[in-house]
Amino acid sequence: MYRFLIVIEKANGNHSSYSPDLPGCVATGSTREEVEQNMYEAIVMHVEGLAEDGVPVPTSEAFSEYLVIREPITA
């Protein structure tokens, strides 16, 4: 079993996603649910390709965190 962080961004009427731990592994979709499913499939294909090429699957090291900014930032 593998576990990878994915980042989902909304842009221009669709969604895109990537995984910081799997460079070049990206997906798009018209909804969040669709991009999540497409990204799942992209990661499976990516990991299978690595295995076929005899390349080790990278260890997931990415993480995410929200930062709370309590006061307006002024320049």
pTM of the model: 0.85
Q: What is the share, in percent, of the chain residues with pLDDT greater than 90? A: 87
pLDDT of residue 75: 67
pLDDT of residue 74: 77
Q: Is 49 helix (H, G, I), strand (E, B) or coil?
A: helix
End-to-end CA distance of the chain: give it in Å, rounded.
Answer: 47
Strand order in the sheet with 7-11: 7-11, 14-18, 26-29
CA 74/CA 40 separation, integer angstroms:
40
The CATH code of domain 1-75 reads 3.30.160.250
CA 65/CA 54 separation, integer angstroms:
33
pLDDT of residue 72: 79
pLDDT of residue 45: 97
For residue 34, what are its two tokens?
A: 């669709």
